[in-house]
Amino acid sequence: MKKEYLKLEKIEGPLIILSGIEDASYGETINIKVDNEEVRTGKIIKIEGDKVIAQVFEGTAGISTDNASVKFTGKPLQIPLSKEILGRTFNGVGEPIDGVYQVISTERENINGRPINPVARRYPKNFIQTGFSAIDALMTLIRGQKLPIFSGNGMAHNELAAQIVKQAKIKGATSDNFAVVFGAMGVRHDDADYFRKSFETAGVLDHVVMYINTADDPIIERISAPRCALTAAEYLAFTLNMHVVVVLTDMTSYAEALREISSAREEVPSRKGYPGYLYSDLSTIYERAGMLKSREGSITLIPILTMPNDDITHPIPDLTGFITEGQVVLNRELNQKGVYPPIDILPSLSRLMKDGIGAEYTREDHADLQSQIYASYSKVQDIRSLSQIIGEDDLSDIDRLYLDFGRELEGKFIAQGKNENRSINETLDLGWHILSILPVTELDRMKTELIEKYYDYNRER
C-alpha cells in the first residue's frame, strides 16, 4: 500500500513542495486529490533530501497546504497505446476529451521516450510531394524529415500545414498505413477546430490522433502535449510500421510555458529569460522524428512556430533552426500582397533534399533548377533595392527582365490556390517556363544539356 501525504509545504505557481517524503523517484508521476474529489496529476522535477518539488499538470488553483492528499505512483507519465488511438482526441496528458472511454491496452509508454541511437537511424531519402511548387521544387520535404514552418501571428501557417497534410503523397504510404498525429499547445479553440474540420473534409479523420491543449488549458500540460503526440507517433511508426506525419503547433507557446515554469523554479535564465536548456529540451522533441533501419515506418515532423515580432533571430526560431533539417519561412510582405502560401524562399531551406531529389526520385533537372531559381531570385532582391533608388526606368534591360522574373515567380510559382495540388512535373515545368524569361546567358548554374532539353527559347521576353 502506497503512503498518502496530507500536507503540502509550499505552493508556488504550478509547483508544489512536499517534505518528509521517502522513496520518491525523479520524474515520477504523482496523484493529488483535492478536497477529496478532484484528482490531478503532477510530476516530480526536483528532489532535495526528503523534500520534493513537483509540477501539477492541471494547475494549482484551488489547492491549499492542507486540502490535498498526494500519492506517489512510482512511474513516470505513461500513456496507453493501441491501434484504437486513431481517430481519437486527447488532452495534453493523454486523457480522452472526446467523450469516449480511455483506450485500454497493456502497452503503455513513457512519454519522454529515449534518444534514437544514431547507428539505428536510416537516413531519410524519399521525397514527399506536398503539391506546393515552392516547397516541392525549392525546399523539398523528405520522408522522415523534421521541417518546421516559421510563421508570424496572422499568417496562413495553419492553412499551409493542413493543406500539406491533405495533399502529401508519401512513397510507400497507402490509406491503411498512413496516419496523422496532431499536437496542439496553447492554441485557440478555433485553430484546433480548423484543423479538425480540414482533416474531416480531407476524409482522413479516422487516421488522425489529436493531443490538444488549448490556450485556456493549464500551461503545464503544454510541456507534455507534444511528448504524448510523439510517443503516439513512435508507436504508430515503429510498432505498427505506419508512415506518420506529425504536426505540432505552436512551438512558441510551448517554449513560453517552459519559460514560465523555469522562472517559477527560480532558475538562472539565459537569452530573453528562456532557460539555458531550451535547446536540449527542444531537441528531445524534434529529434524524435526520423526512420529506423529495422522498421518500415517513418515520422515526418512539421512543427509550426510563430516568430515573436517576425524576428527569425529570436531564441525560439533560432534554436529550432539549429535542430531541424531546414525551415519553411513565411513572409509578412508576401502575405500582405495576397500571395498564398507566403513562403519567403531565400531563408527557407531543406537540408535533406540533396539526397531525395534527382532522376531517381523526382527528375534529373531538379537540383540545377533549384539552385538556379535561388541564385536568380536573390539577384532580383538586389535589383529591387536598386530600382527603389533610381527608378525602374533607369534599369538595364536585363535588370528589368529580372524584375519580371521575380514578379512571375511570386505570382505564379509560389502562389497557388487553396485547393491546387501540383504534381512535381507540373512544378518543375512551371519553374522552367518562368526561368525562360531570363536569357540563356544568365543561367549560370545550369548544365548545358539541361538548358537544351527544357529551356523555352520561344518565350517572349
Distance CA 442, CA 396 (A): 14
Site for other proteins in 153-212 (CB under 8 A): none
Rounded to 5 degrees, φ, ψ at 269 are -80, 155
Residues whose CB falls within 8 Å of the CB of residue 78, separated by 6 or more in sequence, listed in order: 29, 108, 109, 110, 111
Q: How far is the CB of 112 from other proteins (least distance, A)?
A: 7
Distance CA 356, CA 339 (A): 27
Piece of 23-31, 199-207, 240-248, 420-428 that binds other proteins (CB under 8 A): 23-31
Task: Based on the shown chain and the rule CB under 8 A, indicate whether residue 223 belongs to the binding site for other proteins.
Answer: no
Task: Based on the shown chain and the rule CB under 8 A, indicate whether residue 417 belongs to the binding site for other proteins.
Answer: no
Number of residues that bind other proteins (CB under 8 A): 82
Q: How far is the CB of 64 from other proteins (least distance, A)?
A: 26
Site for other proteins in 42-101 (CB under 8 A): 46-50, 76
Q: How far is the CB of 174 from other proteins (least distance, A)?
A: 24
User: How many angstroms separate the Cα of 356 from the Cα of each of 139, 140, 152, 366?
Assistant: 11, 8, 29, 10
Piece of 108-116, 128-136, 152-160, 242-250 that binds other proteins (CB under 8 A): 108-116
Nearer to other proteins, 158 or 262 (CB): 262
Nearer to other proteins, 146 or 222 (CB): 146
Rounded to 5 degrees, φ, ψ at 41 are -110, 155
Q: How far is the CB of 379 from other proteins (least distance, A)?
A: 8
User: Closest by alpha carbon to 431, among 414, 452, 407, 450?
Assistant: 414
Site for other proteins in 363-402 (CB under 8 A): 367, 371, 374-375, 378-379, 382, 385-386, 389-390, 394-396
Distance CA 414, CA 334 (A): 10
Nearer to other proteins, 51 or 196 (CB): 51
Which grid coordinates belong to 240?
505498427
Site for other proteins in 280-339 (CB under 8 A): 280, 283-284, 286-288, 290, 292, 294-295, 312-315, 318-319, 321-323, 325-327
Q: Tell me the pairing of strands 127-129 and 141-142.
A: antiparallel
Distance CA 184, CA 97 (A): 14
Long-range contacts of 326-329 (CB under 8 A, 24+ apart): 326/139, 326/145, 326/147, 326/350, 326/351, 326/352, 326/353, 327/147, 327/148, 327/149, 327/150, 328/135, 328/139, 328/147, 328/148, 328/149, 328/150, 328/160, 329/150
Task: Based on the shown chain and the rule CB under 8 A, indicate whether residue 122 belongs to the binding site for other proteins.
Answer: yes
Nearer to other proteins, 53 or 160 (CB): 53
Q: Which of 347, 392, 411, 453 binds other proteins (CB under 8 A)?
A: 347
Q: How far is the CB of 115 from other proteins (least distance, A)?
A: 5
Site for other proteins in 242-271 (CB under 8 A): 267-271
